[in-house]
Amino acid sequence: MKRREFMKLAGGGVFVFFTIGEPRDWLEGQQRAGGRDYPTDFNAYLRIAEDGKVTGFSGKAELGQGTQTALAQIAAEELDVALDRVDIIMGDTALCPWDMGTFGSRSIKYFGPALRQAAAEARAVLIELASEHLKLPVAQLATKDGLVQEKANPQNRVSYGALAKGKMIERHIDPKPPVKPPSEYAIVGNPADRKDSVLKATGKAQYAGDIRLPGMLYARILRPPAHGAKLKTIDLSGAERTEGVRIIQDGDMVAVLHRSSDLAERALSKIKAEWDVPEATVDDETIYEHLVKVAPAGDVIEEKGNLEEGRKLATSVFEETYFTPYVAHAPVEPHTAAVKIEGGSATVWASTQRPFGLQEEVAQALGLAVEKVRVITPFVGGGFGGKNRNRQTVEAALLAKLAGAPVQVAWNRSEEFFYDTFQPAAVVKIVSGLDAVNKLVLWDYVIFFGGERTSQPFYDIPHYRILSRGSWGRGGAGAHPFEVGAWRAPGSNTNTFARESHMDAMAAKAGLDALEFRLLNLKDERMKKVLQAAAEKFGWKPGKAPSGRGVGLACVNYLNTYVATMAEVAVEKSGTIKVKRVVCAQDMGRVINPDGARAQIEGCITMGLGYCLSEEIHFRGGAIQDRNFDTYEIPRFSWLPKIETILVDNPGLEPQGGGEPPIVNMGAVVADAVFDATGARLYRLPITAARLKAALAPR
């Protein structure tokens, strides 16, 4: 498609095309989008329509993290329009340019600056148009609240809508237009109400499962009892007798379709199937030994100095091993999709974090050209990395094709647990050394299957090496008994639990206060600053652990967002841990929506309590034993600590990510506080009451 045609289709006005500054992704995207019926020299755009409304289009998705609101703030600020005049359309492959996906706390960090420049460019175009319209030089004009007006005579003015009327103007950002200095900001940096709140509070917000299509059938699919199981015999007679049911068998897939999903489920339960289940060779207790055994030689992620030299300098050496289990994403909305195929084109509504990746998968599954598939991303009921994968959508697409009718596949909770791509179980081995004045001189760090993100030390260590043996996502055959994937802040929850637990253990053995010990080994001023901000709010009093007070701390540099967290816990006789208070200080650069950023911190802290205290997938081989929230416990109201958040001012730094960073400190901050309370250090997450009680028992 020529850009002109595309603009005509979109409806005229002023367009600014731009590229989100994700260079590697962009290159890949350009190559992929090359074969499509879509202009390829931009991956986002902004439009000012004839009614003066401003719309930004992006292939990212709103999963609940609030980027739709923060992005609108950025555009509104730069364009001088009211926030409610700006909409951000997300995740629709027919309307939005290609995007790799929504993960890694990248939406504001990478899309934000590009959108800001596009808005600045649009503003410049509007002033030029106004200059012709009002017959005044550009220098005598200013923008305010959706109008261009004469500086000397504000009554002489024209609206953005009137300027865009009947126009078809395209611009690209090159060279970079001047942007507003942050000192003039009136919208960015101030709390903004979420744009989706009323829809969500009234039940009007539509999710993938809420799409109703004429003639749509609800499909339930026969599932194996374990990953790797093979269907041996099947008896469909019971299901076939159910009124209104259609049964579709295609290769390994057996599906029951009905006009009501509960009746499809009822018919499915009447199918009798026998399976060959492969013998289990690992379970949730033996998995760690297995992972260490099968791990590849690995890659050095980062190194400095020489480990042998470090060993020689060390006067005390600390060696420990840390373990983190498989953890489920468990969004309240299970994976869901509806697919309609008509006239050789497919339309897909899916709960996805990767609409464009999904478009390709569906095209491939249906044997259609990519541009014949449109993926629409309605509101997504939580993702946390789990909705990067979209098996349910491919299932719905195949069934829609075979049934000749629109089909919805909505996983139930049991399927959601079974097909989840868990945070991988991982092992971290650390050998570290201190010199006579308690300075770190050695850090030999090996991570098995956890992933390398945030494994690089930010402490000042002359001799270190970070070795990653089997990363998440490329574990290789024989490593994990089922699929694993990205889980909110992938790799970092494991790495930070290990690193900060280890730092705490060293401080305790050296007889130093945990904060003092970290500050002694830090040169990074931003890290010192967040630690001090947290300490001040928390009222951190120096002490030697275990002090009995039950306080702990942890810190991280997550992709250039700095977070320091302090917590206070109480441990009951039963071993049950109550996290009473959490203080979190975060430096994320310039903050777009402080209220939204705080909501993300609160959410991360609350969600993070789960992987600290209870969340762990139990399994035998490919059989997942936790299939609902009765045995897989996620945090609830009664777990809620008092949460205090601090946004550490750093206006000179461009906005960084905020959706993930605060969750990564939770494992260590609780483990450290438990050690301070009881003198027992737990090297394995989650810290259940039973494990803590066992650790406290006299030997």
Question: Residue 684: how many CB atoms within 10 A of its CB?
Answer: 18
Q: Which range, of 26-34, 40-48, 60-68, 308-316, touches other proteins by CB under 8 A?
A: 60-68
Asked if 427 and 288 touch (Cβ cutoff 8 Å), the reply is yes
Q: Which of residues 578-597 bind other proteins (CB under 8 A)?
A: 595-596
Task: Give the C-alpha separation, 501 to 322, whole Å.
Answer: 9
Per-residue x/- track, 384-413, other proteins (CB under 8 A) = x-------------------------x-xx
Select 66 or 310, whichever has its Cβ closest to other proteins.
Answer: 66
Q: 577, 613 in Cβ contact below 8 A?
A: yes
Tell whether residue 647 is a contact of other proteins (CB under 8 A). Answer: no
Question: Alpha-carbon distance 445 to 233, whole Å?
Answer: 49
Could you tell me where the beta strands, DSSP code E, fall in 411-500?
426-434, 440-448, 464-469
Q: Which is nearer to other proteins, 146 or 406 (CB)?
A: 406
Binding span for other proteins by CB under 8 A among 157-165, 626-634, 667-675, 685-693:
626-634
The CA–CA distances, whole Å, from 227 to 162, 207, 621 equal 61, 29, 8
Q: Which stretch binds other proteins (CB under 8 A): 127-135, 172-180, 376-384, 564-572?
A: 376-384
- Does 50 engage in binding with other proteins (CB under 8 A)? no
Rounded to whole angstroms, how far apart are CA atoms 675 and 507? 12
Shortest Å distance, C-beta 326 to other proteins: 17
Smaller CB separation from other proteins, 202 or 233:
202
Closest CB to other proteins among residues 416, 676: 416
Structure-block tokens of residue 402: 């075979």
- 615 burial class (0-12, 13-18, 19+ CB within 10 angstroms)? buried
- Cβ 104 to other proteins shortest distance, Å: 18
Please say which residue, 22 or 616, places its beta carbon nearer to other proteins: 616
Q: Phi/psi at 204 (nearest 5 deg)?
A: -85, -20
Q: Which is nearer to other proteins, 120 or 268 (CB)?
A: 268
**How far apart (Å, rounded) are the C-alpha atoms in residues 482 and 221?**
19
- Of the pair 216, 505, the CB lying nearest other proteins is at 216
- Note whether 611 and 131 are within 8 A (CB): no
Please report how close the Cβ of residue 507 comes to other proteins at its closest, in angstroms. Answer: 29
* 356 Ramachandran zone, left/alpha/beta (phi>0; psi -120 to 50): alpha
Nearer to other proteins, 305 or 382 (CB): 382
DSSP state of 473: T
The minimum distance between CB 188 and other proteins, in angstroms, equals 17
Nearest distance from C-beta of residue 400 to other proteins, angstroms: 18
Instruction: Say whether residue 381 binds other proteins (CB under 8 A).
Output: yes
CA nearest to 432, candidates 321, 514, 520: 321
| Residue 353 and residue 61 in contact, taking contact as beta carbons nearer than 8 Å | yes
Site for other proteins in 187-246 (CB under 8 A): 193-194, 196-207, 209-210, 212, 218
Q: What residues does 562 pair with on adjacent strands?
A: 557, 587
Q: How far is the CB of 564 from other proteins (least distance, A)?
A: 19
Tokens of 623: 């059989």
Stretch of 143-151, 155-163, 260-268, 312-320 lying at the interface with other proteins (CB under 8 A): 260-268
Note the residues at the interface with other proteins (CB under 8 A). 63-66, 193-194, 196-207, 209-210, 212, 218, 259-263, 330-334, 379-384, 410, 412-413, 595-596, 599, 602-608, 628-630, 634-638, 640, 643
